[in-house]
Amino acid sequence: MRVIGLAGWSGAGKTTLLVRLIPILRGRGLRVATLKHAHHAFDVDQPGKDSFRHREAGASEVIVSSSRRVVQIREVEEEARLPGLLRLVSPCDLVMVEGFKREAHPKLEVYRHANGRPPLHPDDPRIVAVASDHPFPEAGRPVVPLDAVEAVADIVLARSEPLAAVLERLISHGAAD
């Protein structure tokens, strides 16, 4: 398994780029998993459904299984850390991490000039490339247009790193499980 992240400010287009990348990477024969960070409480469950009612009643964990998918919902006391989350991912070729912009894994910055926020890459050596609507001639790493999805896919494949190396770096930088 290899790992790379998409990092950037909210509204930069990380999700939009990711959902355009996945079919391209699958078309190249890869099995792709995604891991997304949320900054707020979220629900993947529907109010009134049995699994929602189980959790609402106080279950600390709910697993829903069918012939086509398995979903695990676990209530936690503190936010899960990236190393532990990466260990939960089933075997695949590539894990694409959306968010976790402050962690020490390899990342592609998604930058949109209209956001009015500063770019992340000047202060983060783990940003290995930038997909942007703005030129950065002194970036010191590849910069490609946001809509050049095939070129972004090439970068993702070239700059992703093996899971073991990413876990070792994350843990050495203090990102405990």
Give the Cα separation of 20 and 160 in Å (integer).
18
Cβ pair 148, 61 in contact under 8 A: no
Higher pLDDT, 175 or 151: 151
Mean of all residue pLDDT scores within the chain: 91
Q: What are phi and psi of 160, to 5 degrees?
A: -70, 160
The beta-strand segments (E) located in 28-137 are 32-36, 61-65, 70-74, 94-98, 107-111, 127-132
- Degrees (nearest 5) of the Cα angle 174, 162, 112? 75
Q: What is the pLDDT of residues 46-85, one digit of tens each?
A: 788 888 888 888 888 888 888 888 888 888 888 889 999 9
Token digits for 81?
């850390």
Cβ pair 169, 149 in contact under 8 A: no
Q: Given its phi and psi angles, is residue 144 left (phi above 0), alpha (psi -120 to 50 degrees) or beta?
A: beta
Higher pLDDT, 98 or 44: 98
Q: What pLDDT does residue 41 have? A: 61
Q: What is the pLDDT of residues 98-112, one digit of tens each?
A: 989 999 999 999 999
Mind listing the domains of the chain with CATH numbers?
2-42+78-172 (3.40.50.300)
The model's confidence at residue 31, banded by pLDDT at 50, 70 and 90, is: very high
In this structure, the chain runs to a length of 177
Q: What is the pLDDT of residues 120-170, one digit of tens each?
A: 999 999 999 999 999 999 999 999 999 999 999 999 999 999 999 999 999
Q: Given its phi and psi angles, is residue 57 left (phi above 0), alpha (psi -120 to 50 degrees) or beta?
A: alpha
Question: Does the pLDDT of residue 176 top 60, yes or no?
Answer: no
